[in-house]
């Protein structure tokens, strides 16, 4: 009897269909996360941009008059870059801290767990979507500030790398923290508590509105242990070519922190910590 025809479409039994990376599934989840926040872009992109601009108006009117300078530049030019990246990192955290949490509350967490995605692919999609939202907010605020009278937010020649590196790495750091919060929290109050008692203090006490050179030595030392300080200062360095921190230290510190947070998030996702029980 002749042998039955071999099905060349399906792989042989035991051979994985997705041998390395499920690019299709990963991209689908990333697009889904981007579309989720983009459907309410008025709230997730434009509202944070308007809030950041209000900070600029208030602080420049209250503190920027009288020719006050910080790091050798007008106060408005000093505070503007910090406001941009502060809005970016806060929205990166808001996006990633919402993803898994809303799935647990609404009972749709299975939509994240059932698809053939590894823990690394799931984590990468969540973090990259959060960084995408952060970049959109940052670009929206930057464009608005370009037309704001009395503020110069043009990058310093040859320092664009600092804007890209500290903007992306800072957003990724808060995105990883948001993923951890999303796994740990059981209700929106828990996520709001992390926002109010961890993220907001780290952002507001990071030198966004002042230079730490003017602080008491004790508080200056405390500020140097705040990772968000290096994000703010390094991002500002890309615009002013001046910084109140040691930029190489910030580069290395953010890299190490992101690696550590990434490994921790991956390990907890692989275990299904607080999302599979």
Counting beta carbons within 10 angstroms of the beta carbon of residue 13, is it exposed (0 to 12), middle (13 to 18) or buried (19 or more)?
Answer: exposed
Number of other CB atoms surrounding residue 147 within 10 Å: 7
> Is position 13 within any domain?
no
User: Residue 52's pLDDT is what?
Assistant: 87
Give, as one character, the DSSP assignment of residue 74: E
> Is position 1 within any domain?
no
> Is position 2 within any domain?
no
d(CA 231, CA 199): 13
Got the DSSP string for 193-226?
HHIIIIIHHHHHTSSSSS-GGGS-HHHHHHHHT-
What sign has the CA pseudo-torsion 80, 128, 47, 183? Answer: negative
Range of the domain at 211: 23-61+70-271
> Is position 182 within any domain?
yes
What is the full per-residue pLDDT of the chain (277 aa) written as tens digits?
555 555 556 566 655 566 688 888 899 999 999 999 999 888 889 998 888 888 888 877 766 565 678 888 888 889 999 999 999 999 999 999 998 999 888 888 888 888 889 999 999 999 999 999 999 999 999 998 988 888 889 999 999 999 999 999 999 999 999 999 999 999 999 999 999 999 999 988 888 888 888 888 888 888 889 999 999 999 999 999 998 888 999 999 999 999 999 999 999 999 999 887 6
> Is position 16 within any domain?
no
Query: How many domains in the chain?
Result: 1
């Amino acid at each position: 009897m002749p042998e039955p025809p071999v099905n060349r479409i399906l792989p042989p039994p035991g051979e994985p269909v997705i041998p390395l990376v499920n690019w299709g599934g990963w991209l689908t989840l990333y697009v889904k996360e981007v579309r989720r926040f983009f459907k309410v872009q008025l709230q997730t992109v434009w509202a944070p941009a308007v809030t950041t601009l209000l900070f600029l108006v208030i602080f420049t009117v209250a503190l920027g008059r009288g020719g006050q300078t910080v790091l050798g530049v007008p106060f408005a030019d000093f505070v503007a870059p910090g406001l941009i990246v502060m809005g970016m990192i806060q929205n990166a955290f808001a996006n990633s801290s919402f993803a898994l949490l809303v799935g647990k509350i609404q009972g749709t967490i299975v939509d994240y767990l059932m698809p053939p995605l590894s823990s690394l692919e799931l984590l990468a999609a969540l973090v990259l979507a959060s960084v995408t939202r952060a970049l959109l907010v940052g670009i929206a605020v930057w464009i608005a500030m370009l037309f704001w009278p009395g503020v110069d937010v043009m990058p310093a020649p040859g320092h664009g790398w600092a804007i890209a590196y500290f903007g992306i790495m800072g957003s990724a750091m808060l995105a990883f923290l948001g993923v951890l919060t999303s796994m740990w929290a059981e209700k929106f109050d828990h996520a709001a508590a992390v926002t109010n008692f961890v993220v907001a203090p780290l952002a507001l006490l990071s030198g966004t509105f002042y230079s730490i050179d003017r602080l008491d030595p004790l508080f200056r030392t405390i500020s140097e242990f705040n990772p968000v300080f290096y994000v703010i200062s390094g991002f500002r360095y890309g615009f002013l070519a001046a910084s109140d921190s040691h930029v190489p230290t910030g580069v290395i510190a953010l890299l190490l922190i992101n690696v550590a947070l990434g490994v921790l998030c991956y390990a907890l996702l692989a275990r299904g910590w607080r999302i599979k029980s």
